[in-house]
Amino acid sequence: MDKLVIEGGVRLVGTTEVSGSKNSLLPILAATLLTKDKCVIRNAPDLRDTLSMLRILRFLGLNTDFKENIITIRPNGLEKYEAPYKLVSTMRASFCVLGPLLARYKKAKVSLPGGCIIGVRPVDLHLKGLSKLGARLQIKEGYVFAEAKRLQGDHIYLGGPFGSSVLATGNVMMASTLARGTTVIESAACEPEVVDLARFLIKMGAKIKGEGSPTIEIQGVKELHGVDYEIIPDRIEAATLIMAAAVTRGEVLVKRARAEHLTAVLEKLKDVGVTLKNVKDGIFVKGTQKKFKPFDVVTLPYPGFPTDAQAQFMTLMSITEGISVITEKIYPDRFMHVAELNRMGAQIKREGPYAVVHGIKFLSGAPVMASDLRASAGLVLAGLVARGKTEISRIYHLDRGYEQLDAKLKKLGARIERVKE
Ligand code: EPZ
């Protein structure tokens, strides 16, 4: 296993570029199951999660090719509809093959994904939506067995106890593209990645309206054809790079970052005192020595502050003098990074879905452990700004969702090395 060794205290300076969006790519890869034709997907980030999803598609009878950030998918005539536990359990997002398999083959057998370190991660909304479309669902031995002669469009409310669900919206939207009649999804997720998936489906010939709003209408069609499609940049990676520049007081142009996908994050950073400028092909973080102000944040479904940027913001608040309260409304247990930041001298107290951050002057480098994708990113930012050396172990978590983050930071001047553990 690899670890990252970071010598803190360097201001990041220069230009970096955001890769394609992981959370756009994964459901879009599942959507290629909906057609017999070839699909080409461009700007695909080279991540562990990308390889995991391609492995599942190959198991389901698709030929996959991936080079220079372009994925080509070709069905090979095999019509397999079972996604096994050993593959699904490695990455929860693979559960969104259920909707496409059901729509295409009228049956599917997909392993329940199980929970993960950030929470229980139920799939009840996925199952509710698919059964509303007429699927007969049975849960046995950790698998969902689904069958439907022909899916029938319906009016489906997909709101859950924590608001909308990104992948449940994707699963149901994909299934309803080949259903008979019209489907309306109420309380749909509005994330840019859901919009990207809808646009991919529309390019395949699906009839979808309202994507990006809480009400999406899908008119079922008989079949979908292949596409050549470029996915959007990763807004969470953009937020991570912007906060890396901010926390080190650096001066960085983050190319391909789209301000319209990051309003809540950019507004919060401006409140804190970070100087940001939207430029033609990205977002410029202007260096400043002025004192940052502590600010509270509450994570919410889009367009609220994204839970996937919560750990990174906590690192920024940990060295911003004063008190800030971080409320996690999406995954109340998503605080694995708190204990690790406190090992670096941070003063953070977790109370249920709240973390009270008492900002201090500086963090001290220490050996820490990555636990989930975004907590790992928060620890990298802490290492960049801490005094002394930080070693982050188990960085395969980071490699699931960031394309060469260490190389990008090194290019901006960070003293960061990837070494074998
Ligand atoms: C997507 O996960 C993202 N993953 C997550 O990013 C992200 O944190 C999450 O959306 C929220 O924005 C991908 O897109 C691959 P949800 P998803 O269904 O769709 C509850 C990352 O770091 N819920 O929107 O699985 C759920 O427990 C990952 O890139 C139900 O109750 O999340 C959570 O509290 C981590 N029942 C809330 O809804 C369900 O059936 C939002 O979850 C489904 C979800």
Question: Domains plus CATH for the chain?
Answer: 2-19+233-420 (3.65.10.10), 22-230 (3.65.10.10)
Share of the chain above pLDDT 70, in %: 100
Closest CA to 226 of 204, 199, 202, 201: 204
Ligand 1: distance of its center to the CA of 366 in Å?
31
Region 200-215: mean pLDDT is: 98
Total count of residues recorded for the chain: 421
Per-residue pLDDT, 287: 84
Task: State pTM to two decimals.
Answer: 0.97
Measured CA to CA in angstroms, residue 290 lies from 10, 246, 286, 320, 372 at distances of 17, 11, 11, 11, 32
| Residue range 254-300, pLDDT digits in tens | 999 999 999 999 999 999 999 999 999 999 999 888 999 999 999 99
Region 218-238: mean pLDDT is: 98
Rounded Cα–Cα distance for residues 301 and 322 (Å): 27
Closest CA to 327 of 358, 305, 294: 305
**Cα-atom radius of gyration of the chain, to the nearest Å?**
21
Least confident among 32-46, 80-94, 386-400: 80-94
Annotated catalytic residue: which of 39, 96, 116, 190?
116
| Residue range 364-399, pLDDT digits in tens | 999 999 988 999 999 999 999 999 999 999 999 999
Per-residue pLDDT, 119: 81
Longest dimension (CA), the chain: 64
Per-residue pLDDT, 289: 87
Whether pLDDT at 197 is above 80: yes
Best residue among 21, 22, 23, 328 to mutate for probing ligand 1's pocket (most ligand atoms within 8 Å of CB) is 23
Per-residue pLDDT, 78: 81
Q: Is 96 a catalytic residue?
A: no
Ligand 1: distance of its center to the CA of 302 in Å?
12
Rounded Cα–Cα distance for residues 33 and 63 (Å): 11
What beta strand segments (E) does 154-220 contain?
Answer: 155-157, 182-186, 207-209, 215-219
Region 7-28: mean pLDDT is: 98
Q: 168 CB less than 6 Å from ligand 1?
A: yes
Per-residue pLDDT, 103: 96
Ligand 1: distance of its center to the CA of 296 in Å?
22
Residue nearest ligand 1's atom 43 by CA: 123
Best residue among 97, 310, 330 to mutate for probing ligand 1's pocket (most ligand atoms within 8 Å of CB) is 330
Tokens read off for 22: 């992981």
Q: What are phi and psi of 225, to 5 degrees?
A: -110, 170
Q: 332 CB less than 6 Å from ligand 1?
A: no
Region 234-249: mean pLDDT is: 98
Strand partners for 185: 156, 216
Region 300-329: mean pLDDT is: 98
Neighbours of 9 (CB within 10 A): 15
411 confidence band (pLDDT: 50, 70, 90)? very high
Whether pLDDT at 114 is above 90: no
Rounded Cα–Cα distance for residues 399 and 406 (Å): 10
Contacts of 45 (CB under 8 A, 6+ apart): 19, 20, 21, 22, 25, 69, 234, 403
Whether pLDDT at 333 is above 80: yes
421 confidence band (pLDDT: 50, 70, 90)? confident
Contacts of 130 (CB under 8 A, 6+ apart): 98, 99, 102, 137, 146, 171, 172, 175
Rounded Cα–Cα distance for residues 110 and 72 (Å): 24
Strand partners for 389: 7
Ligand 1: distance of its center to the CA of 162 in Å?
9
